[in-house]
Structure formats: C-alpha cells, structure tokens
Structure 1
Amino acid sequence: MGITYFYVIVGSGLAGLQLAHQLSKEIFFKGKKIAIIDPSEKNTNDKTWCFWEKGQGKWDEIVSKTWNSTIFLSAEKDLTLDLTPYKYKRIKSLDFYNFIKKELNSSPDIVFLRDKISRIDPVTMQAIGEKENYSATHFFDSRLPSSYLDDNKYTKIFQQFRGWYIETKNSHFDPSTFTMMDYRLKHKNSTSFTYVLPETSTKALIEFTFFTPFLAEDDVYDEMLKKYLSEILKIEDYKVSSVEAGVIPMTDFPFEKINTKKITKIGTGGGWVKPSTGYSFKSTERKVDKIIDNIKRGLIPGKNLIKKKFRRYDAIFLDVLARHNEKGDVIFSKLYSKNSMEDIFKYLDEETSLSEEMKIMFSLFGTEFIESFFRKI
C-alpha cells in the first residue's frame, strides 16, 4: 500500500519549499504529516532568483544583493531607470534551499524523501515512485506536464539563458545598478538580449537570454557572451567562476485546469511563472498564501490561483513575440521608455486597475498588438 501522509509535495524546488515552509508556520496544519519528495538533494547553487519588492520582505535574511536602479539599452534607447519605491533583490538558490531545509528539519510533521515520482494515480491517490509508493489525502505536484507542448491552441515561448559569473582584474561595474535588458547585441532576428547583475565593481553575472519560439544551440550562448564581454563591455581580462543555465516556459497554456479536488499543480507545472516575463519568486509567494487561505476556508486548494484578466494580457503579449520575434527590442523599448518602473512593476504584479492596465497596453500600441488581440481575445 505504500506510505501514507496527509500532504505529499512532489518537488523540492521554489514552489514546493515555499509551500512546505508556509504550511509549517500555520497552527492549522499542526500534526498533519507532510512528505517532500524529490530525486535531488538540492545541495548546489543551480540558479539565481531575482524579484522586486517594496521595503522589507520575508526573505531579506537570505537576500545577497539589492539594486536601486536599472539600465535598459537598445540601438535607439539608453535608459537609466529609478526603481523607487521598489528594490530589485537577488537570492541564490543554495541559500534558499539551506534556509528552508534548516527550518523544516526541526518540524516533526515534515519529512524529506529522495525518490523520483513517475505519476500520480488519482483513483488510488498514490504517487508512484522508483523506490516506493506514497499515499496522501492531497498531492501538490510541481512536475511540468508534457501535454502543454502538444497543444497548439496556446502560444509557447521559451526563455532560455546561460550566465557566466565572472571576475575581472580591474573595476568595470557599478554595483548599484543592474542591466535589465541590453539589446545592442542580438542573435539574428530574435528577441535576445544580455542581462547583467553586478555584485561588486569586479564581479558580475553576465547572462545571454532568448525569448523565442525556438531553442538555441549551446554554442550560441558562449559565442554571444564572449562577444558581449569583448565588444560591448570591452573586457578582455576575466575569469569565469561558475555557470548557470536554464529553460523557462513562457506560455498561456491553462495549467490550472489540470487541478482537481485532490491534486494541485504548483510552480512552473501549475503556471505560476509569469508568462510574459518568466519571473516566479514573488508570484509563488502569493499563490502559496492563496492555497493556504483556500484550505483554511474549506475550498479546493487550487481555486482562483490565476487571474484570468492578466492571463489574457499575457496571451496577447506572447502571441506578438511569437509572430514578430524580431520586434522584441522595439516592444520592450516602448514599455520601458513610456512607463515608470513603479507602474511596470505594479502591472507585472497584477495589482493594477483597468485604467492603469490600459495605459500600459496603449504604450505598446501597434498593428501587431491589434492582430494578436483579435487572435487571443
């Protein structure tokens, strides 16, 4: 029959750990046994999470760097943008994993298990693992469903990136300002740019990124990173201390429709990544709070996790990028030059009124958006 728990969380990434952490803080869940199942120990720094936030936040203890301003660059624009009243914050994934695991290891209700789950049987309510089967009253499943790739009704863009953490002999960076997007170096006719997070005057993450409907070859990233360092930043003397890479789906596929009364998709597999940006850290925090509120109110855990109005806005934006990928720099130039960072962040956090949303949408106005509006709405 396997091992029985009250909740099983499949995956100990961002969503799984944030959910487990918050469950452990609530007296409502005291005594309810929770298993977190993942094949990985999560003992390496495999990614970097960045997010914007006003004032102090619940994760400040593990925030390793903040920035007060950002730069946007293209062939036509050179913008330095004040982030006030927000700060842009960075958390290294290993710091996050260690922080959460340290807190959860002291909880008698939570256990970490090393196993790979192949499927969840909704009839027997068992997660089928390579080592064991696990029963639960409810499953929170972070695995990305393969069905989203096969459904052509929805737009699929891939945010792909490779970043080098570099150290230079001489000072080259302003550690108070990061580069959100630099389009001065692009790969052919694609939405591709460089993202720069300076840690000190001699240390920075240089990351080449694609927002494209196709996947790029590995050697393209190294070529573009080398060109950016030599031709744009004019840096020849540097060493690469570590590398990070990833692929994040940006799609309007309705992951939330997979949710049932007893199985809730979470994280990337639940559509928690903001489709138009690829950001997920604060979105995850908000959705975890919503899940816990739903449970305490006797509702289905996955109820109303996605705001449909904003998902429609995202669908239009993704359709434009998919059909006119060569125009990404022009579109983002309009966004950053015609709106304040406060208005942009508020919109991306899905906290705006209809009039504020229309202001953002009209700043991007063009025939391609009209076409996509009628295709998607």
Structure 2
Amino acid sequence: MGITYFYVIVGGGLAGLQLAHKLSKEVFFKGKKIAIIDPSEKNENDKTWCFWEKGQGQWDKIVSKTWTSTNFLSAEQDLKLDLSPYKYKRIKSLDFYNFIKKELSTISDIIFIEDEISRIDPVTMQAIGEKDNYSATHFFDSRIPSSYDKDEKYTKIYQQFKGWYIETENCQFDPSSFTMMDYRLRHNNSTSFTYILPETKKKALVEFTFFTPFIAEDHVYDEMLKQYLSEVIEIKDYKIISVESGFIPMTDFPFEEINRKEITKIGTGGGWVKPSTGYSFKSTEKKVDKIVDNIKRGLPPGKDLINKKFRRYDAIFLDVLARHNEKGDSIFSKLYAKNSMENIFKYLDEETSLSEEMKIMFSLFGMEFIASFFRKI
C-alpha cells in the first residue's frame, strides 16, 4: 500500500458514483487522486431508480422510460393524476453503473478498487479493508453506522419490496401511466401496496411494497404478487422475466451527526434517503452538488446537507406510520385526493413555502398526527 488518495469514497453505489462523477467534472479537483472502494463490481441490474423531474435532466441519456400520469387506488379512491409539469423517470441501475464507469474510465486520477471496508481509523487516516488499507485526507462513507441498529430513540420504518418484471400474453398495461400505490390488496391490514411500472402494453414491473415497523418474510411477497395479478388486475397468463427486491430504512435517525472532520457520511448511511418516502435519486444529486460547493468554499463537506425543518415533518409522519400502521391506506388516500401532484412533488423535494407545507399537513389532519407532533417536536 503506497498510494495516499486525496479522497476515498467507501461504496460505489448511487451516492458514491454520483459524487465521483461530480468531482470529475470540476476543474477544482483536477490532479486529486480519488479511490472508489466497493466489494462488488456493479455489473448486475440490482435495482430500479425512479424520480420526478421538470423538463430535461443530466441523466436523460440513461433514462429508459418516462410517464406523464399516475394512478392511486384504494378501497375508496380510484384516482388518475396528471404529473405536469413533472415527468416520472426510470433508470435501471446497470445502465447507471455502466455510464458512470465509462465516464470515469478515462480519468487517471480516479481508480475503482474491489474490496470491503470494515472501518475507518481517523487517527491513522486509513480505511481498513479485507485486502488492503487505504490512506486519504478525507473519507466519504456510505455504510450505515452500527449505532443505527442500537439506538431506540428514533422511529424506524422499513420499506421492503419485491418486484416481478413480467410479460403477458395479451395487452394488459397502459405504458403512459404508472401506478404509484394500489391498496386494494394489503397484508394483514398493514401499510402495504402494489406499485406498477408499465414498460409496454405487455411488459411491466409489478412490485409489492411494505412501509412497516416489522420485516416481512420472502414468501409473503410471492403470495401477494400472485394474488394481486390473478385476483385484483386479473392477469392469468404471464411469465416472470426477472426479479428485484430491496430494503430501505425510513427513519429520523440523525446520520449526519456522525460526520467528523475527516469523515463525511453519504448515501443511505448519511440519511440521504427521504425518510417519509424512501426516494433517493434526486436528493443524492442535490446533496452531491452541495458537498462540492461546500468544499470549494472551504466549508466542511457535510455542512447543511439535511434540512432540519423537513426532517421534523418526516419524523412526525414516520411516528404516525409506526404507531398506526393500519392507517397508511387512509393517510395516503388523503394526501393524493386533496393535493395536486405538483404540490406533492414540490413538498417531497423540500421546495415548498410554509403556507404550502401547512396545506399538505392539514390535508392529513387527524388526532394521531397531533399526538406524534408532541412526541417528536
């Protein structure tokens, strides 16, 4: 081990690769050696990222599908919602990995290393790996800290999902519109729903999702997907082309408080996943831009990455879901029935004014929210 890197990025997933890509585009960082360390080669399509965006964006060349409207369904609601002026965009993870790796392959100052980091020693300024140790002047670390599992003070909801990418015999889907949430089939009265991303009239990703304080067993997803396809949308003839699954923490745990002078937490390990939704792609883009701006201004990289006002809003929402998980259907029904998609997206992007935020809050009003407000605020 003879190289000392300027930056070591621990984790070559969404956050680590977006950060490396942004650093590579800035003349300010030219000549600074950067290592991206991950135990995986990232050569498989292991997930799908979706996000909403106005107009064109920097990732459009790898966006594989867009939608202009969405559906929300429950026992009481059947809503078709226009997304204008936004579009809902999908990126397959393998397309993202390949794009970033190709962009960075010509830059001699950036190196990919396949290794698993167990810890970062702030005294010796080394990331300790299974194969080697890596020295740097600063570390960007996407690993979830061990203190997260031990700390009981904060609310923890688990977004868990399993999706089947299916092909049907007949035309079954409207490829111009996706289904954000379908609550017509739930598991044991929990906050659980089906999410559908139609690609063509015969192909779609059909995903069963939980927002719950408990962890579901794998066989439950298969049972719910089979029942949803056969009984709810009445599709009998289909074949499963591929399967994807995921597990995302939805929490008000203050990951950003673990940041140190020499270590900045990023990605899921930095609290970059929107606690109330599990979305992360666009928030990662914004936080990467903020990190680069902070560094160029001589500020700590992790300064002001988290909007504390919206984190409090998220904490209230999560507390309600954790304590009243059976009410998720009703809560989300109110959200989508009483607000435009433009205002919902603006709120989730943390770009609303106080009056707009209050409108969202009052649309969800209930005694459970008042109780959670006093518990969390």
- Does residue 140 in structure 1 map to residue 140 in structure 2? yes
Shift of 1:261: 1.3
Corresponding residue for 1:308? 308
Distance 2:140 2:258 in 1: 12
- Superposed CA offset, 1:164-214 (max 9, x none): 000011000000000000000000021000000000000000000000000
Corresponding residue for 1:3? 3
Corresponding residue for 1:92? 92
The secondary structure found in structure 2 opposite 1:205 is strand
Alignment of 1:1-377 (within 5 A): 3-377=3-377
- Superposed CA offset, 1:130-161 (max 9, x none): 11000000000001112112111100000000
The share of aligned pairs that are identical, in percent, is 84
One-letter code of the match for 1:8? V
* 8 Å contact kept, 1:73–1:183: yes
The secondary structure found in structure 2 opposite 1:333 is helix
User: Is the deviation greater in 1-10 or in 23-32?
Assistant: 1-10
Distance 2:294 2:30 in 1: 17
Shift of 1:4: 1.0
- Superposed CA offset, 1:240-286 (max 9, x none): 00000010000000000000111000000000000000000000000
One-letter code of the match for 2:173? F
- Superposed CA offset, 1:285-327 (max 9, x none): 0000000000000000000000000000000000000000000
The secondary structure found in structure 2 opposite 1:292 is helix
* 8 Å contact kept, 1:35–1:112: yes
What is the TM-score normalised by the length of structure 1? Answer: 0.99
Distance 2:322 2:92 in 1: 31
- Pairwise CA RMSD: 0.6
Distance 1:244 1:60 in 2: 23
Distance 2:149 2:36 in 1: 27
Distance 1:78 1:24 in 2: 46
The secondary structure found in structure 2 opposite 1:250 is strand
Unaligned runs of 5+ in 2: none
What is the TM-score normalised by the length of structure 2? Answer: 0.99
Shift of 1:3: 3.2
Shift of 1:64: 0.1
The secondary structure found in structure 2 opposite 1:268 is helix
- Superposed CA offset, 1:14-69 (max 9, x none): 00000000000000000000000001000000000000000000000000000000
Distance 2:11 2:205 in 1: 27
One-letter code of the match for 2:91? I
* 8 Å contact kept, 1:32–1:109: yes
Distance 2:146 2:277 in 1: 21
Shift of 1:2: 5.3
The secondary structure found in structure 1 opposite 2:173 is coil
